[in-house]
Amino acid sequence: MARLSVVNYISLAILNYIERERAETKVALISAKGTGGVYEESFGVRFPPLAAASLAAVAMQEGFEARFFDASSRKKDAESILESIAEYGPDVAAFIVNASSSAKPSTDLASKLRKSVGMLIAGGHHATFAFPWLLKRGFDAVFLGEGELSFREFLRRLKRGDDWKSVKGLAYSKEGMVISNGMAQMVERLDDLPIPAFEIYDRSSYRMGIFGPEESVASLETSRGCPYNCEYCSVTKMWGARWRLKSSERVIEELRKVKDLGYRWVFFVDDNFIIPVKNIVLERVAMIRKMIREELNSLRYIIQLRADFVAKNEWLPPLLHEAGVRIAFLGIESGDPETLRNMRKNLVPEASAKAVQLLSSNGIIVHGGFMLGAPYEDAEAMKKTVNFATSLIDFGLDSAQFSIYTPLPGTDAFMKAASRGDILTLDWDLYDVLHPVMRTNIPPWRLFLFQRWAQYSFFMKKGLKSLLRGKLFSPPKTEKERLLNRGTKYLARRVPYYLMGLLRLPFSALSIAFKLRRGINEEDKEELSEILKSALHMQNPPREKKAE
């Protein structure tokens, strides 16, 4: 009996030790950038980073505790997130570095956490293609490409106390040398991944502010990969050219979960919600019809589409509207056919006009994305783009976003610009598609002013046309009109903010000109060379020799 008590005591002690170890094994998922980017600044829209929920789900499956810290949702000073993370006391601090403009905030915060965190790791688009830069600034490891499988293996080895440095999809430093194990293995069946832990988000932080303070928004994915490979985009390099889908049943399950959590809007992060492959189209249509049958169209959806696919399939917009799609983003990019060819966009302006008309006439708000300042583009081509965007107002274009052509790491545009010596800065804060960072046919300060003028002039002309047609203050009759009415009121309240921005423009342009005139220094050139070498290595990994 005494022996049994001792055995029970030892067993209980072991169980307590295991539970204590589990409780102490914590992962902090961190988004360090202080703002939500151009969408938040322009429209009050902040989307939760899906990577946080996806990786949190993996960590939880492996017995880790996971919590998300988002600097963009903090209204206090930047030190508040530092205090919160330190108080949490994570064993692993995992930074989500998707946007290039989040690189410096991530390294700054990581350096302050160095003493209070066991390991500093990073992943995401920018991290994947600029990992030498991050490793030199104190990160222990960077995850390359899709993170779920490599992150799972990393956590398992970490928990066992095994060496994690041989995990495929990792890069790390050793004795001052940067070592890469190559891109991570891609997930063949997306349904095999755990359902993202959407509950880690503070729902009140993620809003469609332009439509009202209560319009919360979640992020979901239904597929990965892109077969188009536009030269300014890193999606194909990151996710592959093959389109991989989640099953309809899996998507419905995730939608139910965010609906139960109280979200009103869902942003599907897929770069192409649908592509022109027969069996994929059939699968996607089946999924949309299930969304309708399951009454999930009480949610409101935001999707990204190719204009040419919409233009060729007039049956699609009414079906999307019935399913609850209320906003469609079209990457129109340019009104100049030659520029579109150089971008490898495989799109013609006429298709964009028809797609805008079809979507708009079916009750879907259309947001167009345009790009200015490509290295093969002159002032006349840029004017064509602005004029084309304005002409699309008559086809039903509701809003437009004018970006500055930015060679982001991982893109062919970056490789070309770096090889030619056209990169003017490695200040990643400027890589937000709102600032010029490379040498083009147009002086940087002029490009900066032109992009701002395009943005302001579009909305001024849009407002003037609505006023002349008597639509600006007329009572809304449809759901689309009600949403646009809210958006107009939101933008009207921000007129003083926009005017202040206009007044600052000359000074901002002078500051940009001064920063970029100095070019990149020798240290930046060395780091740029390392990033290029790493990118080439990932694109063309050394092949193993067969045994004789």
Task: Please state the length of the chain.
Answer: 548
**CA 362 to each of CA 161, 272, 355, 400: distance values in angstroms, whole numbers, following the listed order:** 57, 20, 11, 19
Query: Which pTM does this prediction carry?
Result: 0.91
Per-residue pLDDT of the chain (548 residues; tens, 9 = 90+): 444 444 443 454 444 444 444 456 899 999 998 776 677 777 889 999 999 999 999 999 999 999 999 998 765 556 788 889 999 999 999 999 999 999 999 999 999 998 888 899 999 999 999 999 999 999 999 999 999 999 999 999 999 999 999 999 999 998 888 999 999 999 999 999 999 999 999 999 999 999 988 899 999 999 999 999 899 999 999 999 898 999 999 999 999 999 999 999 999 999 999 988 878 888 888 888 888 888 787 899 999 999 999 999 999 999 999 999 999 999 999 999 999 999 999 999 999 999 999 999 999 999 999 999 999 999 999 999 999 999 999 999 999 999 999 999 999 999 999 999 999 999 999 999 999 999 999 999 999 999 999 999 999 999 888 877 777 667 888 999 999 999 989 988 888 888 888 889 999 999 999 889 878 888 888 899 888 887 776 655 444 333 33
Domains in the chain, start-ordered, CATH in brackets? 24-180 (3.40.50.2300), 306-522 (3.30.750.200)
Edge-first strand listing for the sheet containing 141-143? 65-70, 26-31, 92-96, 119-123, 141-143, 170-174, 177-180
Distance (Å, whole) CA 106 – CA 89: 18
In this prediction, residue 255 carries a pLDDT of: 96
Q: Is 185 exposed, middle or buried (0-12, 13-18, 19+ CB in 10 A)?
A: middle
Angle at 544 between CA 176 and CA 228, to 5 degrees: 85
Distance (Å, whole) CA 488 – CA 509: 29
Average pLDDT, the chain: 89
Distance (Å, whole) CA 426 – CA 443: 18
Collapse the DSSP code of 121 into the 3-class scheme (helix H, G, I; strand E, B; otherwise coil) and give the result.
strand
In this prediction, residue 75 carries a pLDDT of: 58
| Interval 459-476: pLDDT, tens | 999 988 887 777 766 788
| Amino acid code (one letter) for 226 | C
Residue 547 burial (CB count, 10 A)? 4
**CA 150 to each of CA 67, 193, 485, 493: distance values in angstroms, whole numbers, following the listed order:** 19, 12, 46, 46
Q: How far does Cα 54 stand from its chain's mean position?
A: 14
